[in-house]
Structure 1
């Protein structure tokens, strides 16, 4: 099975330091929806793995998070693509859960759900925690310079085998050219 794991905010859609708290605040990054459709056309399953501590902080409820994800799924479908699953962590750092990236729990759940080894699976994110979670399960960390990516690129803790791309479309072009 061909699989790609994507972070949400800063990779698929524009990020906000105040969190994406409503469907109206969710805005796709240019080219990201078509990039997901391209992955699907090349036979990849696309899974989103996203920390959503806004739920745990009380900034929005689960029904709002579901509405944001429904908007994202519909937007991808409108360009001929599909998101196969969305995994999320609603906890804050204080909760000390196993699923909040950079911990590997959410990615381990993806491996279990899809009965697959994540070794070498492209995992695309814009923050250090995305890349650290990917590296911890043997996935291929891929940094996009959208969202927090420009700042993340300078972090000395960046996993050494991280591939860097301007945006999701460029990362997908690399994946589908291989």
Structure 2
């Protein structure tokens, strides 16, 4: 995959999100455009609905009327996406598509980062950033899915738990 591929938001008719995603994926496969259009997503979340004393998990669209597309923006890729039935256009000023920033992509949870740490539960770590910078603590738990680590730090003679980003600690 190329580094020039970015996430773009495509506006669709409401209720057509899944159909647009399916049609776009099919078109990419048929025309062999995998080098230009890498991924198509309709962001959803699981919601528990309660109706008449019964609970049921339902998958809901997080952004009705929108589809996320990871693609390299060229005239060809723009034309292909723009002319899928149900697409009204790209999100951006005028007809110029604007890619999502890395912070927006992370906030939406579209791409999951993988973390590799060289410390384990029970190891001593030094805190590199934040209000506890310079302190040393003991790793209590590591949560790679959320990118956090639980550290027990000794403050004023008392053990204090702290939750930090994985990147803000290093092994001693």
Query: TM-score, structure 2 length as denominator?
Result: 0.22
Query: TM-score, structure 1 length as denominator?
Result: 0.22
Structure 1 or 2: more helix by fraction: 1
